[in-house]
Structure 1
Amino acid sequence: MTLLSPARLVPRSYQPLFRHGEFRRLLPALAVSDLGDGMSVVAVAWLAVLIAPDGQAGFVVGAAVAAYALPGAVGALVFGRWLRRLAPKRLLAVDSWLRAAMLGCVPVAWALGVLHPVLYVVLLAGSSVLHAWGGAGRYSLVAQLLPAERRLAANALLSSSVSVSIILGPAVAGFLVAVVGPAWLIGADALSFAVLAVQVGRIGEAGGVTEAPADAGRSMDGLRLLRGQPELLGVLVLTWMFNFLYGPVEVALPLHVTEDLGSGAQLLGLYWTVFGVGAVLGALAAGALRRLPLWPVTLGIVVGWGLLLVPFGFGAPAGVSLVCFAVGGVIYGPFTALSFTLFQERTPAAWLTTVLAARGAALLTAAPVGTALGGPLTATLGPRGVLGASGAATVVLGVIAAGVWGWARWSGARSPEKGGG
């Protein structure tokens, strides 16, 4: 009797990735750093509560959470003239070492008793200032290491790693915070980025273009290039609006659970758990397919996610809305991988890191703006109304985007005929 090889259990589209030595070694290091960031979602806010002066916890928590993410948008713009010249592996390594150093100072300062809130916010901001470039380096490195037909599957694995970290990271941190304290969890996050930096340093120079052109600092930046690429700009605008319309969901869902459903934190956690599991399954399923029509599937995801939010607005019971959220996760799961694959396929190799950094900087503002708008909207429409309205607006966004995409394809098909006439 022949035993089933473990490799045969892996979908065929993923098998070449695990046979690719450099990608196979890189993926666990990326997953570890993702898990570290997932734990820091809880640890950063909890440590801010512990060090905040009396009556200022809300201010310190808000500043800490913002400092852990938003400076990446500034870094993408301010340091572009220098960083766009670097190869993707070097960008990823620089960002990883910086995060390891800055976050590593947090437990040291805590142990020495000198972790003032201002110092804490400065360290968090310093750790994130190059993170848009690090994220760009991650996906640009994948584009260099792998042929085009393997990129969707690789992007699906990377986005699934992030989704898994969102599920497991806070749960692990919730347990460990009481055991070792939040400062040491942030130290573990720092260590995870040191591991990633070391692993990236072991990767040889990838084939293809590794450096931007010599005149990159003078000719154009990522945003200018995007303005000259209507399709890429369309992907960015669609993604920004999609994330913006998702922002109010994070505000309305907890209030929907407590006010409309009369339940508590366990049900809220269950919503996010089923969504996260669905997102992982959806991303992996999309990556297992050899080829997808990227634009039609991307637009279908936007419309599908919106449709599954609409039942919330009609007062669907918890059981029905949980199913909607789980299926919504499956539908949403492939979106990130497809978006990055579109950018990898449509962007000149020499400009990929610059364009992806500009993309990351722009998208850092989308969900926070939507979340900020979610508060006033919830007060006006109620949580159930906001969830339904977010879904309806997302459906409208997808329909409009599909119309624009169809018109662009029709115009492109007719233009050669006009030229020939």
Structure 2
Amino acid sequence: MFSAARARPAPGPCRSLFADRAFRRLMPVFALSDLGDGMSVVAVAWLALALGPGGGRGALAGIAVASYVLPGALGALLLGRWTRRLPARRLLVTDAATRAVLLGAVPLAHLAGVLTPAVYVGLLGASSLFHAWGKAGKHALFAPVLSEGRRRAANSVLSTSLWSATIAGPALAGFLVRAVSPAWIIGLDAATFAALAVRTARTPLPRSSEPPVTGGAPRGPGILRRRPELLGLLLVTWVFNLAFGPVEVALPLFVSGDLDAGAGLLGGYWAAFGIGAVIGALALGAAGRLPLWPAVLGIIAGHGVGMLPFALTDSAVPSLIGFAFAGLVYGPYSALSLTLIQDRAPAGALTTVLAARGAVLLTASPVGAALGGFLLDRTSAPAVLVGSGVLMILTVPAGIVVLKIHGARTARAVRAPRGA
């Protein structure tokens, strides 16, 4: 919380957060693994282009990128029977160790001359099977022992690390790939996960962050159905991610076609978005107590407003400013939505709920990208980009309806015992 008597650069929740020895020890390896994943964004596709046959390199790159992400959704669904009983620390260590071993096998197979496209895709896919559970464990690790203010600060720091890695990681990989094979960059990613696994396993944690293992651990979808507010947040976030999916497809065409510019300007758009997101995530850590649901809906609306300048095609300046603004308001979204889940979900089922959330959200962006490709065959890139923004803005009234329904049900539940 803020202290009115002292004016220091860092806010109270962040100061007390880094005073926690466990968080202070783990945050550097969290940031390191984020940086490794940021480098792999470039390295995974680049290595696929080198391995693929002459006419199918693009297809292999798409399959490789999908294999690095999508099996996590499958793992969240198929492995839940066993993994939902595990404490957050064990989930995080299991995921990090799995990724360290399987991603580390990529440069070894490359060195041995046995890294075929099939082996490569298989290693990437297997490495991501536990990833939804690992991310759930990462965000659930400290939730039971932090107050709401410190919990929001922790989510803000984690989001800032992730957004910083999306800027620095690809740039670092682009520099390294000139000197070494992208297989070795994936090996560096594996090393960051090995460091994460070892440090997490050795760091003492408060006992309350390790909930007891029970045979009747609840299922994520069942918990969401019984909590309309969490289900509503998941649906709103899914539509939000769906609306952003076409942007990844339409933005390159907007830059190359409507603005008649090259890859440098495209990189400038994403850099502007990423820098805005880092500033936004940091601003959340420095902010006071924000009402969570209004802030979440306000971010979605603000992001949609930031997409509207893409209707102007005479110059890149308006859309660059709008895209940077969209990143600025989007930066706090993950931290706020995760804080809302941590506050509302049962403590013993937090990792299960977070894994179910991750599995569902993994499907939104690919569906949106496919929808964007379909629309681009029938309309212009500016229309798709502006349409994405309009869909985001229209998501807000739907979220308000969800809130009203939830409020009405809560009021009836409170009045029922009195009437009885």
Q: Normalization by structure 1: what TM-score?
A: 0.94
Correspondence list, 1:207-246, <5 A: 207-208=207-208, 210-211=210-211, 214-216=214-216, 220-246=218-244
Q: CA deviation at 1:408?
A: 3.4
Q: Following the alignment from structure 1 to structure 2, what is the Cα–Cα distance between the partners of residues 40 and 339?
A: 26
Correspondence list, 1:4-403, <5 A: 8-208=8-208, 210-211=210-211, 214-216=214-216, 220-315=218-313, 317-403=315-401
Q: Secondary structure at the match of 2:386?
A: helix
What amino acid does structure 2 have at the position aligned with 1:306? Answer: G
Q: 1:410 to 1:216 in 2, by over 3 A?
A: closer
* 4+ runs deviating over 6 angstroms: none
Query: 1:39·1:170 contact (CA, 8 Å) conserved in 2?
Result: yes
Q: 1:30 to 1:416 in 2, by over 3 A?
A: closer
Q: Following the alignment from structure 1 to structure 2, what is the Cα–Cα distance between the partners of residues 328 and 33?
A: 26
Q: Cα deviations across residues 306-348 of structure 1 (Å, max 9, x unaligned)?
A: 1111221354631111111111111111100001001100011
What amino acid does structure 1 have at the position aligned with 2:113? Answer: G
Q: Report sequence identity in percent.
A: 52
Q: Following the alignment from structure 1 to structure 2, what is the Cα–Cα distance between the partners of residues 10 and 316?
A: 42
Q: How many residues align?
A: 413
Unmatched tracts of structure 1, length 5 or more: 1-6
Q: What RMSD over aligned residues (CA atoms) do the two structures have, in Å?
A: 1.7
Q: Cα deviations across residues 101-127 of structure 1 (Å, max 9, x unaligned)?
A: 000000000011110110001100111
Q: Following the alignment from structure 1 to structure 2, what is the Cα–Cα distance between the partners of residues 404 and 82?
A: 32
Q: Secondary structure at the match of 1:214?
A: coil
Q: Following the alignment from structure 1 to structure 2, what is the Cα–Cα distance between the partners of residues 88 and 145?
A: 13
Q: Following the alignment from structure 1 to structure 2, what is the Cα–Cα distance between the partners of residues 277 and 16?
A: 26
Q: CA deviation at 1:409?
A: 2.7
Query: 1:282·1:334 contact (CA, 8 Å) conserved in 2?
Result: yes
1:3 paired residue number: none
Q: Normalization by structure 2: what TM-score?
A: 0.94
Q: 1:36 to 1:145 in 2, by over 3 A?
A: farther
Q: 1:398 to 1:315 in 2, by over 3 A?
A: farther
Q: Following the alignment from structure 2 to structure 1, what is the Cα–Cα distance between the partners of residues 143 and 92?
A: 14
Q: Following the alignment from structure 1 to structure 2, what is the Cα–Cα distance between the partners of residues 242 and 25?
A: 34
Q: Cα deviations across residues 217-271 of structure 1 (Å, max 9, x unaligned)?
A: 5xx4111111111011011111111001000001011110111111111111111
What amino acid does structure 2 have at the position aligned with 1:60? Answer: L
Query: 1:23·1:145 contact (CA, 8 Å) conserved in 2?
Result: no
What amino acid does structure 2 have at the position aligned with 1:322? Answer: L
Q: CA deviation at 1:8?
A: 4.2
